[in-house]
Structure 1
């Protein structure tokens, strides 16, 4: 698994930014594709996957209800 991806949901990370979510998505796509940096002919698909996974992560973290979490 992607050991460098950190948990972004509260209470582990209370201030996860979209940049944090994009970094996690990038690590995931790198792991799944096997490319650290894709060749030019794969760059569009690679970046689209990173954007899609970032959006899914934003939606996921926005929808999660963490029991026992303190509201600010």
Structure 2
């Protein structure tokens, strides 16, 4: 749990998968909750938090604009 969450935005991470986003969300929720794996009575809240963080992360990454970054035009 000590490792840091990696940066997912371009150009530091040219391709980001849903798995990358979920892993970062899971690590964040683990860190702030203090639980690696929650007890059964907290599992639903834990999973909902991971999903909410993953969705917010995906939204942020889709809207972020990195100045000076040139991307190839879509074919």
TM-score by length of 1: 0.94
What's 1:56 paired with?
Answer: 56
Distance 1:10 1:3 in 2: 21
1:8 paired residue number: 8
4+ residue runs of structure 1 moved beyond 6 angstroms?
none
The superposition leaves residues 24-64 of structure 1 with CA deviations (integer Å, 9 ceiling, x where unpaired) of: 00000000000000000000000000000000000000000
| Alpha-carbon separation, structure 2, partners of 1:58 and 1:5 | 15
Aligned alpha-carbon RMSD (Å): 1.0
TM (norm. structure 2) is 0.90
Unaligned runs of 5+ in 2: none
Q: Does 1:28 align with 2:49?
A: no
1:44 and 2:44 matched: yes
Aligned residue pair count: 71
